[in-house]
Structure 1
Amino acid sequence: MNDPLDDPQERGVIEQPIRRHRNGSIDTTTDLVGQEWPVALVFNGISHAVMMCTPCDLEAFAVGFAISEGIVERGSDIRDIEVTLHREGVTMPYAQVELTVVQQAFMALKERRRALAGRTGCGVCGIESIDLLDLSPETVPDTGFLTRLAPDAIARAASELPSHQALTRVTGGLHAAAWCDAEGAISLAFEDVGRHNALDKLIGRLVLDRIDTKDGFVFLSSRASYELVRKAARVGIPMVATISAPSSLAIAIARQAGIRLVSFCRETSYVEYGQTD
């Protein structure tokens, strides 16, 4: 696995001067901090959202966002993507991702445009009314994946995830989303300051590489929120595993979609929030 820190153009971290206080002494040195940039998502020339995220894997992020937010139904609805990094912005560095989508998707987007600026930690900030809250997930079809899941798959994923978190190792402050097979082996992992963004990056890469989203599960280094489960349902992912706790709405959405939700995942244990009947 390539270390993202090897590429200075797409590091995801920045060096900052610090003073470390320890046991009464002060050490002046430098530290690595996770980057957080505004990223403007532009569809057919119209700005739709400004997200705060780590400025790497932005093509995958934009594709994942477009699909998981229901802007497009499939990867083929996106005709072109152009990523531009503005490292010397007027007030701060920023990025812009321009997507060209099919006319049908663009017309639907214009009808329901809403302000989404800065949605790093909250999945529904900026919607105009409760009526716009999408609590009716797609039903994930049963393809038999869960019956093929190895008994120790979750334990293996929990064990492997730290080795895929290069940015977290040096900053201690990013989320990760990983793609695992039925044995729990991790084949893809993405990091970001926002847990939603990390999952969007993963979904985008799955779509771009035409990987079957019904033949694996997501392992997240965060809690299980409503929107994370909702995003998984939109692309047909049969299981979501998280290190931290789920919310009540995440559990409800998982049950409604037919997604197996497991949280507090460790190498020796996990808690399943499944159907009650």
Structure 2
Amino acid sequence: MIMGTRAHRTRNGQSVQSGAARAITRALPDEVPVALVFNGSTQAVMMASPADIADFAHGFALSEGLIDGLDQIEGFEELRHDRGIEARFWLRADRATLLHQRRRAMLGPVGCGLCGIDSLDAALRALPRLPDGDLRLSHAEVAGASDALRAQQPLHDRTRATHAAGFLQPGHGITLAREDVGRHNALDKLIGALARQGTDPATGAVVITSRVSVDMVQKCVMAGAPVLIAVSAPTALAVEMAEDANLTLATFARGDGFDLYAHPQRITQRGSDVA
């Protein structure tokens, strides 16, 4: 059977509460192995939700530095097999050397974004410094970002078991969102979707439903997003990397408040649109 695109399936089980059992039927998120293949060489195999695979693949290629832009892709196809999905890229000849850099050979659990990287230098790669830019967000927009994203998570509504990443633009709220069983995959899907529709990540903020680890900072910086807003805490090293890369980092964005750890100049009392 060819692998489908549905991101959830229904399964029967039992719920045991206060010693009593009852039959239940629940919608559970699906996950499948996705092989990311560049010029015939598999760079990664990730477990991911089987929807928006093209967005995921393109976002992964950008956030992992395998390409600098979509113009470096000569061809792409998505092949669904009975045991998984292949996302196949053909890159320009001048990008061939990237196939030998930061190689990954992994079947990674969805909670880990650095599985299989074969050197410490690759795990803590140097990041470019983001330009200051003109993006400004209001206190209210940042504080309400997580709730706004929560309203755009249909898969989570069905399963209560997925993460999301959204794009917040000043004055417009969450304009794009993607979901996945993996928090890193959801972010890659968002990055890929932005690139494929021609939206500059510098015009808004990334909003995520998870903690902020080093790799989430890396992906945002590589994509060119100047602000990262999270519902949970950052790691200490993630804060250091955000400071070095000129990334604004807002966390614990819930209700009417948030914590601000790096480069607060983009978050103002009133906010303003991008020039």
Q: 2:71 is aligned with what amino acid? A: S
- Kindly report structure 1 stretches of 4+ aligned residues shifted beyond 6 Å: none
Indicate yes or no: 2:33 matched with 1:38: yes
Alignment deviations for residues 90-147 of structure 1 (CA, whole Å, 9 cap, x no partner) = xxxx11111111112222223542323315222222122223333321111111103x
For 2:234 and 2:190, how far apart are their aligned partners in 1? 20
Indicate yes or no: 2:190 matched with 1:202: yes
For 1:31 and 1:248, how far apart are their aligned partners in 2? 38
SS in 2 for 1:122: coil
Indicate yes or no: 2:125 matched with 1:103: no
SS in 1 for 2:77: strand
Contact 1:38 1:52 in 2 (8 A): yes
SS in 1 for 2:145: helix
Match of 2:53 among 50, 55, 58: 58
Q: What's the counterpart of residue 272 of structure 1?
A: 260
Indicate yes or no: 2:204 matched with 1:216: yes
Match of 1:81 among 76, 79, 82: 76
Q: 2:69 is aligned with what amino acid? A: R
Q: What's the counterpart of residue 62 of structure 2?
A: 67
Q: 2:91 is aligned with what amino acid? A: V
Contact 2:247 2:263 in 1 (8 A): no
TM-score for both structures, normalised by structure 1: 0.89
User: What number of residue pairs does the alignment pair up?
Assistant: 263
- Equivalent positions of 1:112-261 (< 5 A) are 112-118=102-108, 120-146=110-136, 149-183=137-171, 185-261=173-249
Contact 1:152 1:183 in 2 (8 A): no
For 1:261 and 1:32, how far apart are their aligned partners in 2? 34
Gaps of 5+ in 1: 1-8
Q: 2:126 is aligned with what amino acid? A: S
Cα distance 1:111–1:159, how it changes in 2: closer, same or farther (>3 A)? Answer: closer
TM-score for both structures, normalised by structure 2: 0.90
1:275: Cα distance to partner? 4.8
SS in 1 for 2:229: strand
Cα distance 1:111–1:69, how it changes in 2: closer, same or farther (>3 A)? Answer: closer
SS in 2 for 1:42: strand
1:150: Cα distance to partner? 2.4
Contact 1:174 1:192 in 2 (8 A): yes
Cα distance 1:15–1:254, how it changes in 2: closer, same or farther (>3 A)? Answer: same
Contact 1:152 1:184 in 2 (8 A): no
1:197: Cα distance to partner? 0.3
For 1:248 and 1:98, how far apart are their aligned partners in 2? 36
Cα distance 1:225–1:10, how it changes in 2: closer, same or farther (>3 A)? Answer: same
Alignment deviations for residues 126-171 of structure 1 (CA, whole Å, 9 cap, x no partner) = 122223333321111111103xx22311133222222101111111
* Bigger strand fraction: 2
Cα distance 1:180–1:96, how it changes in 2: closer, same or farther (>3 A)? Answer: same
For 2:99 and 2:47, how far apart are their aligned partners in 1? 21
